[in-house]
Amino acid sequence: MRTALIVVDVQKDFCEGGSLPVAGGAEIAAAVSEHLEHHHGDYAVIAATQDWHVDPGAHFSDEPDFVDSWPVHCVADSRGAQPHPDLDTDWIQAWFRKGEHDAAYSAFEGLLAPDADVPMGDDEDVEEDDVSLDDWLREHEIEAVEIVGLATDHCVRATALDAVEAGYDTRVLVDLTAGVTALTTEQALEELADAGVEIVRS
């Protein structure tokens, strides 16, 4: 079965020192890098996402409720939107940016970054701005996805739910994710399991 790895939002703002840090975010960046070093050959393709906000409306708030509204984070072209330095990006073949003008929790809301480092081969005649993650996975004949990154109870959760809905055999590698709170993380993992996502723990 052709499998893709999706690395979700391992960005400076979501790690310690960022504007919206997840506890253990930097540790997850390093752990994902180690996983890539030892297991990149297990995947047909490897993709990553970036929150990439321009004007996401009520998603940003000076008085956030940390449910539907949040402090300013991952502004397009900002330092905080960059991948965390402990994430080894050498194995990542395509970047998908999401949330320019809305919240966009799921990787499946992202579009291929116009400055993707790796050429798209046969896809070069496709307008990059129009290539969604689902388009790209199907062009590469992907049947299954494994999901890692930040945060378990928000963007990882939304990505996994959309992956199942799109028909992919979906696994979340829990040890390579971190959540905002223990309670909402466990609730998210229960929801994912009920939806048909395989929850993989070491």
What is the DSSP secondary-structure string of 54-79? S--GGGB-SS--SSS-B-S--BTTSG
Q: Where are the domains of the chain?
A: 9-57+69-143+166-174
Q: What is the pLDDT of residues 75-91, one digit of tens each?
A: 999 999 999 999 999 99
Which one of the listed residues 12, 15, 155, 162 is annotated catalytic? 155
pLDDT at 122 over 70: no
Active-site residue (options: 98, 134, 153, 162):
98
Domain 9-57+69-143+166-174, CATH among 3.40.50.300, 3.40.50.850, 3.30.310.50, 2.40.50.140: 3.40.50.850
Q: Is 9 a catalytic residue?
A: yes
Q: What are the structure tokens assigned to 4, written together?
A: 């893709």
What is the pLDDT at residue 128? 47
Q: Which of 41, 38, 50, 49 shows the shortest CA–CA distance to 3?
A: 41
Half-sphere exposure of 202 (CA within 13 A, CB side): 7
pTM of the complete model: 0.90
The predicted-structure confidence for 12-33, as pLDDT tens digits, reads as follows 999 999 989 999 999 999 999 9
Please tell me which residue in 9, 13, 51, 134 is annotated as part of the active site: 9
Concatenate the DSSP letters of all residues of 97-135 into one string. Answer: EE-SSS---SGGG-EE-TT-SS--GGGTTS-GGG-BHHH
